[in-house]
Structure 1
Amino acid sequence: MLCDLTSSSHSAHMFLGSLLSPCPSWANWAPCGGSSRLSPTMPGSTNLRLIPPPRPCSALRPSPLARYLPLSTLAVTLPATPSWKTISLSSSPVQGRRVVFMGDDTWKDLFPGVFSQAFFFPSFNVRDLHTVDNGILEHLYPTMDSGEWDVLIAHFLGVDHCGHKHGPHHPEMAKKLSQMDQVIQGVVEHLENDTLLVVIGDHGMTKNGDHGGDSELEISTALFLYSPTALFPGAPPEEPKVVPQISLVPTLALLLGLPIPFGNIGEVIAELFSEVEDTQPHSSALAQATALHLNAQQVSRFLHTYSAAAQDLQVKELHRLHDLFSKASAEYQRLLQSPQGAEAALQTVITELQQFLRGVRAMCIESWARFSLVHMAGGAALLAAACFLCLLVSQWATAPGFCLHLLLLVPMIWGLAGVVVCAGLLACAGLKLDPVVLGAMAAVGSLLPFLWKAWAGWGSKRPLAALLPIPGPVLLLLLIRFAALFSDSFVVAEARATRFLLGSLILLLVAQLHWEGKLLPPKLFTTPRLGFSAPTSPPRHNGMHALGLGVGLLLCVRLAGLFHRCPEETPACHSSPWLSPLASIVSGRAKNLWYGACVGALVALLAAVRLWLCRYANLKSPEPSVLFVRWGLPLMVLGTAAYWALASGADEAPPRLRALVAGASVVLPRAVAGLAASGLMLLLWRPVTVLAKPTIGAPRTRTVLTPFSGPPTSQADLDYVVPQIYRHMQEEFRGRLERSKSQGPLTVAAYQLGSVYSAAVVTALTLLVFPLLLLHVERISLVFLLLFLQSFLLLHLLAAGIHITTPGPFTVPWQSVSAWALMATQTFYSTGHQPVFPAIHWHAAFVGFPEGHGSSTWLPALLVGANTFASHLLFAVGCPLLLLWPFLCESQGSRKRRQPPGNESEARVRPEEEEEPLMEMRLRDAPHHFNVALLQLGLKYLFVLGVQVHF
């Protein structure tokens, strides 16, 4: 954001803007790392491109305000014995300088015991805009006036945190930039003549306020140098110079009179080593040549040492650069002996030394950016074998005699054998045991028995279709997904490609139902046929209903696509504004409307789950998990809504209530997470949500019989007497049955068994949703509501094509698994994520922990991981619904008692001959098939995910 501070739009009426006028005492460059370059936005401002250095090197990352020794001190003695380790602030030459630091506490661990005086402030909370900045301002000016320092570093974090919290276009950002301008004005007023002010931004910022990638906005910042003493011989150039980030290190090292770090390959900023007077061009050229020669000597020593230790540099280019340095060095030594009248020769030496330094940097970057194709191919082959294993075992699981216990035991034995063999070979060769290599050998060993069995199956001339049973259309979609991964633009267009493939698969599912004759035509196009009974099998579904499900799915996919985040490689793309938190909305009315919509999504989600459970009567059970669904889920909704209200208006809270708001912001998310954990524990303890009633001792109402005397004389008497006789006989039989039961075991009547498994899965999903919602911004709740609706529609559409009454093992079709996996990937992008590190939502680590986690690392990693992979977590937990939902959709009277031969002409089946739908009780009747089906479903899901992420 330093570029914003130096641009005309922000600095026209600022103090820094007044400094950005042609004068000989200032310079502004843009440092970049590696092969980066600076492109200015306008005269007087710079646009810095920061690319991380190709290897660890001593570089100034923060914005330092540094005071240096007199600039005429250029005598630098290189270390007699170069150290392979990079010289940093903790090196012995710096110990003679009084280095004062004030800023974030991460420097305390980076450079322990280096600073003569330090003021550290907690900086881990990105929502805190003022703690670090206010702490620096409290000590900055008194420290400058004391004069007890040689280098003073002040690392301000308010602008960076403001970008993460509000974005670059929020009014809070304007306030922070104005504050930084006032800081620069105050520092300039306290500067002495022998002091150099260096203002630098360590990185840029995207339109969303994030950084860490390689987009133009993220790697663009500015470097501003100022001193009360004139440093430069003339007016600044109209187009500021390009300065790599690593070039700051040798420049500042020479200005401080320190040796350049041995591992640095930067190029000194030659303009800083010039004479001020225009009448001495020879002296300026000689000073620049001297600085560049010292710099080139250090780089040449590093290059010689590195090329002897590593063989990854190009030999031809290495010899060329060595000859270039030798020539320039010899010419420089000659000019030192006779410097008079050699200005043109000095310029030639300067040019050759700069070519040498830039050539070394380019060669090293090219070499260090090289990847091991052998290791990459080995990893890809290992993952491909794992995917193939999932495919094979998913087919073998349904074979007769397949043992589930050997599925775990055999791979473990072979894996341990592979580790032992690999360790023995490494020990015999005298090599170090590498845990990565041992783990890879364990994985390879565990795959060998399955691959051998697959090879044996192929040798028995089994058809390939038996080993690869994926339907043709689904296989085509997976192949398209596989082929798209080889495109260099797939990472940029992956979100759109996923939505396209999911929409294509939805259309394919609807068309497949029509092609297989599983849909009934609309009633407008059907003619009733008299005298014929409707066939009982196969079942057919309403065509308009299936078409409506498909249209609803496509609409949900399109709506979820509105919550998109643009990849950093597409600067022309604009991310959805709905991915920003409510606190970033300036208008109070708009904020209230969006808050109401988010709370409405929470209530709708809770109401939908409760209505679904009520429809299948799963809320009538007195089990603890059911009681928690009744009372715990509303409390979780209330806690989530209250936390969102506090988070969106925390900055607007009155001062007397800020402590209360801060405390509630800690308690509420922890309470919601605690309730969710308690609900999951209760569900694991008592997952069955059925209503069980004992039959013995149940109250019974006896029928009152009205006396009747004489024989019936009319039809009315018969209509009265016959029911009385029937009730009397019913009471007699019931009494005998109860007397027999009193002498036998107790019997229990259970209800809601038809949805016993799916109810537990839906409850678990609901309990997971609310803590995951807290880790996202408020408006993502609409995406989660779409997620549930989209899953519901897809499950109903998939259930229409599955026959649950056919004999044999239960199987989930491949098209169902593929659609489920694609929907998980699509939701990943709809929640504002991208598969790059800069797109990680780091704010999730501070939900419930605004002050940070101290020294703990696993908890923030868990929170950030849950935020990133929330969609995959939910779809993985809900994957069993693909198996359960067709049984759940079994309608009343879908199965009827078989008619004996000869009675096929009977057109109507009596109601008492209809069977009650067994639904999920069918799974209980065949537990082995149920277990195998779950195993097969999990392996299929892993295979489809592996195809998406592996290749």
Structure 2
Amino acid sequence: MPRSPRTAPTSSVPRAGQSQLKYSTRISALVPIWFLTLQLLALVLFALGFLLSRPVLPDIAVKSTTYSDPDVVLPRGFNRVVVILIDALRHDFITSSDNNNGAYYLNALTTPSLLSVAEPEHAAVFKFIADPPTTTLQRLKALTTGSLPTFIDAGSNFNGAEVTEDSWIQQVHSSRGHGRIAFAGDDTWLSLFPSLSQGTYEGMNLTFPYESFNVWDLHTVDAGVTSHLWPLLQRRDDWDILIAHYLGVDHAGHRFGPNTPQMKEKLLEMEAVLKSVVNAIKDDDETLLVVLGDHGMDEKGDHGGDSKGEVEAGLFLYSSRPFLAPADQAETVNQIDLVPTLSFLLDLPVPFNNLGSPIASAMLGTDYDFQKLASASRIVAEQIHQYRSHHPSFEGMAELTEVYGAASEAWNMSKDYESISKLYLAYQEQNLKSCREMWARFDVPSMVAGTVIFVATLGTLLVFYFTFDGEVECPSDHLNFLAPKVGYGGLVGLVTGAGLGFLQSRLLIVSVFGVGMGSIIGFCQGMRRLPRIKSAVSKWTVLALLSIVLHGILFASNSYVVWEARSLSFLLVSFGFIFLAASFRLPDAKTRATAVLHAIMFIIQSRLAEYPRICREEQLPFCTSNFYASTASSVSSLPAILVLFGTAFAFPAIIRSFLRTSASYEGSAPLWIGIGLRAVLVLVALYWTLDYVEANPNAQTYVEVLKIYKYIVSRVLFGVTVIGAPLAWFRGFPLCLRVEMTNNQQKIKQAVQNGDVDTASKTAPVSVEVIGFGNTYGSLYLLLFVSIFAAVALCMKPVGGIAMAVMVYQVMTLLELGDALELFTTSPILTPTVIGLMATQYYFATGHQATLASIQWDVAFLFTESIRPPLTHIALILNTLGPFILAGLAVPLTVFYKLSPSPRDLRASEVIMGRVVRAATGAMIYAGGLILLNCIMTFVLRRHLMVWKIFAPRFMLAGASVIAIDGAIVASTFLASKAIEGVFEVFG
């Protein structure tokens, strides 16, 4: 049996009314906002220095005098080029195999391989190596400009900006005058090259874009591209370049995985397309066919990282005119090498920012003429040398200049074109290597400034936490005099930072640094007036701070980052055993038995949270994914959906059992939880059932009907969980109370008859009992919390929804332990810290990893068939950051749980708000400590071999999680203030 409900502190100090409480609580809610602002400033500073970007030169290349040199001989060009880009076309998708080993994707798309063997001078297949990040937008930039991406470019994959640097698209427009480019497919091209939208010829439209982001749609884009491809091929005199970008293979990979019947179906469809295109240009010597993949895919069908499957795309060149030196199908070329190659084959200047080398097979030709290869290599080397001379970052690199000089001298002194081409190619390879190293140069001052801000912010958080006594104080009184000091310190910091920034030409970084430091100094000056906490720091507080350090030092090792979920499981299980040991020391037998039971359940829940997983590449073969129906698919399994239905019925019953321990399953609770929550979760399970049926190949004839029902269900759920339930909570403040009135007239009469005058005088005629009074705050806030949980569960895959239910169950278990062990008062930081650890653990349990490829982009189409802000963004945010959001929103429960109000005591309500703010500060200490340790480890390991594969994605996750947790804490503090105001309005 749990302890008796806690009662809010009482005070005899009279205060004003409801308006005074609103002012006090709203002012108190500003504390987390200010700390969030400081952490955002620090995060921006560090990210500016760590997530590298590449400077772009706006110069446009023109043909130099070298082109007219009599010794320069270039391969014969083509009048037209057909570029068929099959998104995510992995290299092994276009190679044939004698034994397909049961792989659906093998020997389905065979035209490239067969033609390269049968007609090696007309056709060739290459292994087309992409530079990570392997996201479509970055690959298109590289394939058109010849430049290298940097890691920060991955963030713009779904927010493409216009390409302002030179490209072969730009060269076609400027060098060929009319620049006729026909296009059909992925509308990302129009984001990068808006000029394509003006593609017309003699009044006829040449541009047919399709929305690209809906990975659940395998056929619409491909069918549209094909419908426009054939008419355009018949009008070959109307265009110079025809670009057809197919998306079905990529979407089939994301949706079902590469080794599935759906993938084979798409590859067979592409096989039919390629055969038809080859036949259409069979007798056209002036048309070149280029078939390529912008990237590959991993074994689950995703991409974005640098695994072998993701970077090894396929490239196929074909023309009815012999133009190639025969090449091995396993020969590798960089994707950026296509840019100078296409430029020569189209008789265009090589784009100014190009870093690629011409593909030797296409330059040598059928007669293996090394003079052509040497000539092309010389022109590319001169273009690269000119680019380097315009780029200030290349100053002082004498070694490369010597290599270029040696190649140029060999050209002037010798006719050994094979050796000359090797010298020029060596220069280009060394330049490419130096560029990759150069664009891995970090902005150390910015990283240091961000880290210092994080240190100062964390220090201020600790000072606030340990000097503010939330048991007797209200933060609004202190903020009234702290605000001027903070503002003054911020102003001084701004002026100082701006001055230093002007002197050092780093205005933005130093100014932001100055503002942050100035504000912290101002706050710390005001903190001197706050009373020092009298009691010593409890052992629970030390344990909380130690757990933050233990979690943070995981970032010092790439292997610990890879296996972070297991480490967190160990930490949480350890907490469970500590709670178990402490439970045995409780004096009351019933309370001890209840606490022991909850501690054991906490251990079991922590172990269960480790079970659902998607394995990242580095964990193989020691990890087996079980999140989907198979390891090579993104389709949910039927057993998971059935368990989700079971969860829909069991989870509300679990919440009910917790509320009944405080007699709080009254008033609005049965309607809100017993009916509303259960109905929502059943509909969530129904949605994923419809999705499962839609993914079945035998249900393709019913796809459109299933989509209609899916979107009806998801939109109804969105309206209920994201809009309806929170709005109803705000408008009504549904208290979980029941009032029982007892008529004592008979009792009084009986006492009088018995001569018991004293009892009769003390007994009221009518007695009133409020059922659920002991958990008034907790039950009220819990209704809103489970409503937001329902919104998060809606945006999760079935296993993810089950995991989130377990997380809420574990939060409730922790609250019971906190109440029994008196953790809420002895160490307000402990329970928020444990909830923060749980948030990261359940991030992994919902099918995510600290990798770009694990982002579940298909959830963006939960509510709509195309990108529709804000629905698309809400779905992705709740899916990816849902555990962190719930963790931040759970913080007030560590104060409210089993807390009863003190009627007619305004001061007590203000003190409760102070407790909430202190608990929020404790949670922000966890988030701030974690991001600080992550930044320190990332800074130290910035030259580590695995920095971009492991540490950079983990830093991005840490940044996103601290924003999500702190943002949710800010929201929860405001929501807590509304709850306190609502309760005071009833009992004040």
Would the TM-score normalized by the shorter structure come out above 0.5?
A: yes
Closer/same/farther in 2, CA of residues 492 and 396 from structure 1, 3 Å limit: same
Give the SS at the match of 1:222.
strand
Closer/same/farther in 2, CA of residues 249 and 58 from structure 1, 3 Å limit: same
Quote how far apart the aligned CAs of 1:628 are: 4.2
Quote how far apart the aligned CAs of 1:565 are: 2.2
Aligned residue type for 2:265: K
Give the SS at the match of 2:796.
coil
Residue in 2 aligned with 1:219? 311
In 2: Cα distance, 1:737 partner to 1:920 partner: 23
**Among 386, 405, 409, the residue aligned to 1:301:** 386
Residues 923-942 of structure 1 mapped to structure 2, 5 A cutoff: 926-942=908-924
Instruction: Say which structure is richer in helix.
Output: 2
Give the SS at the match of 1:196.
strand
Residue in 2 aligned with 1:339? none
Aligned residue type for 1:447: I
1:511 paired to 2:581: yes
Residue in 2 aligned with 1:497? 567
In 1: Cα distance, 2:489 partner to 2:860 partner: 37
1:564 paired to 2:613: yes
Quote how far apart the aligned CAs of 1:596 are: 2.1
Aligned residue type for 2:317: L
Residue in 2 aligned with 1:644? 688
In 2: Cα distance, 1:57 partner to 1:582 partner: 31
Quote how far apart the aligned CAs of 1:136 are: 1.2
Residue in 2 aligned with 1:860? 872
Give the SS at the match of 1:58.
helix
Residue in 1 aligned with 2:957? none
In 2: Cα distance, 1:375 partner to 1:54 partner: 30
Aligned residue type for 2:889: V
Residues 219-618 of structure 1 mapped to structure 2, 5 A cutoff: 219-234=311-326, 236-237=327-328, 240-277=330-367, 284-306=369-391, 310=392, 312-313=393-394, 315=396, 318-335=397-414, 342=415, 345-398=416-469, 403-407=475-479, 409-410=483-484, 412-414=486-488, 416-418=490-492, 420-422=494-496, 425=499, 434=508, 437-452=510-525, 471-514=541-584, 517-518=585-586, 539=588, 546-579=595-628, 592-614=638-660, 616-618=662-664
Residues 813-832 of structure 1 mapped to structure 2, 5 A cutoff: 813-832=828-847
**Among 687, 708, 713, the residue aligned to 1:663:** 708
Provide structure 2 residue ranges, at least 5 long, that are not aligned to the other structure: 1-88, 148-162, 201-205, 934-988
Give the SS at the match of 2:317.
strand
Quote how far apart the aligned CAs of 1:473 are: 4.3
**Among 73, 78, 90, the residue aligned to 1:2:** 90
Closer/same/farther in 2, CA of residues 401 and 123 from structure 1, 3 Å limit: closer
**Among 220, 225, 245, the residue aligned to 1:155:** 245
**Among 157, 161, 169, the residue aligned to 1:89:** 169
Work out whether residues 34 and 361 of structure 1, in 8 Å CA contact, stay in contact via their aligned partners in 2. no
Aligned residue type for 1:86: D
Aligned residue type for 1:202: D
In 2: Cα distance, 1:702 partner to 1:639 partner: 52
1:878 paired to 2:890: yes
Quote how far apart the aligned CAs of 1:824 are: 1.5
Work out whether residues 563 and 619 of structure 2, in 8 Å CA contact, stay in contact via their aligned partners in 1. no
**Among 618, 624, 635, the residue aligned to 2:679:** 635
1:111 paired to 2:193: yes
In 1: Cα distance, 2:533 partner to 2:791 partner: 48
Identity, % of aligned pairs? 25
Give the SS at the match of 1:177.
helix
Q: After superposition, what is the alpha-carbon deviation per residue over 1:536-595, rounded to whole angstroms, capped at 9, x for unaligned?
A: xx5466666545433332222222212122234445354523246999699xxx955443
In 2: Cα distance, 1:787 partner to 1:381 partner: 34
**Among 256, 268, 274, the residue aligned to 1:184:** 274
Quote how far apart the aligned CAs of 1:875 are: 1.7
In 1: Cα distance, 2:534 partner to 2:768 partner: 51
Closer/same/farther in 2, CA of residues 401 and 510 from structure 1, 3 Å limit: closer
Give the SS at the match of 1:152.
strand
Q: After superposition, what is the alpha-carbon deviation per residue over 1:683-731, rounded to whole angstroms, capped at 9, x for unaligned?
A: 2233351446596xx76775899xxxxxxxxxxxxxxxxxx77666689
Q: Point out the structure with max Rg over C-alpha.
A: 1
Give the SS at the match of 1:89.
helix
Q: After superposition, what is the alpha-carbon deviation per residue over 1:108-137, rounded to whole angstroms, capped at 9, x for unaligned?
A: 232223334112222221111101100111
Residue in 1 aligned with 2:261? 171
Quote how far apart the aligned CAs of 1:830 are: 0.8
Closer/same/farther in 2, CA of residues 266 and 503 from structure 1, 3 Å limit: same
**Among 917, 921, 925, the residue aligned to 1:943:** 925
Quote how far apart the aligned CAs of 1:428 are: 7.3
In 2: Cα distance, 1:757 partner to 1:330 partner: 84
Closer/same/farther in 2, CA of residues 667 and 416 from structure 1, 3 Å limit: farther
Aligned residue type for 2:711: V
1:124 paired to 2:224: no
Quote how far apart the aligned CAs of 1:618 are: 3.5
**Among 31, 36, 58, the residue aligned to 2:144:** 58
Aligned residue type for 2:679: L
In 2: Cα distance, 1:566 partner to 1:6 partner: 27
Q: After superposition, what is the alpha-carbon deviation per residue over 1:442-501, rounded to whole angstroms, capped at 9, x for unaligned?
A: 3222211344467999xx9x9999689875444443333333222233331222222222
Quote how far apart the aligned CAs of 1:371 are: 0.6
Aligned residue type for 1:444: M
Work out whether residues 130 and 312 of structure 2, in 8 Å CA contact, stay in contact via their aligned partners in 1. no
Work out whether residues 164 and 210 of structure 1, in 8 Å CA contact, stay in contact via their aligned partners in 2. yes
Work out whether residues 725 and 787 of structure 2, in 8 Å CA contact, stay in contact via their aligned partners in 1. yes
Aligned residue type for 1:443: G
Residues 665-744 of structure 1 mapped to structure 2, 5 A cutoff: 665-676=710-721, 677-687=723-733, 689-691=735-737, 693=739, 702=746
Aligned residue type for 2:117: S
Give the SS at the match of 2:144.
coil
In 1: Cα distance, 2:748 partner to 2:752 partner: 12
Quote how far apart the aligned CAs of 1:926 are: 3.7
Aligned residue type for 2:881: F
Residue in 2 aligned with 1:76? none
Closer/same/farther in 2, CA of residues 736 and 329 from structure 1, 3 Å limit: closer
Aligned length: 804
Closer/same/farther in 2, CA of residues 429 and 503 from structure 1, 3 Å limit: same
Quote how far apart the aligned CAs of 1:374 are: 1.7
Aligned residue type for 1:228: S
Higher mean C-alpha deviation, range 402-411 or range 421-430: 421-430
Closer/same/farther in 2, CA of residues 760 and 196 from structure 1, 3 Å limit: same
Quote how far apart the aligned CAs of 1:171 are: 1.8
Quote how far apart the aligned CAs of 1:376 are: 0.8
Residues 204-215 of structure 1 mapped to structure 2, 5 A cutoff: 204-215=296-307
TM-score, structure 2 as length reference: 0.74
Give the SS at the match of 1:103.
strand
Work out whether residues 703 and 731 of structure 1, in 8 Å CA contact, stay in contact via their aligned partners in 2. no
**What RMSD, in angstroms, separates the aligned Cα atoms of the two structures?**
3.9
Residue in 2 aligned with 1:101? 183
Aligned residue type for 1:377: V
Work out whether residues 204 and 218 of structure 1, in 8 Å CA contact, stay in contact via their aligned partners in 2. yes
In 1: Cα distance, 2:432 partner to 2:534 partner: 53
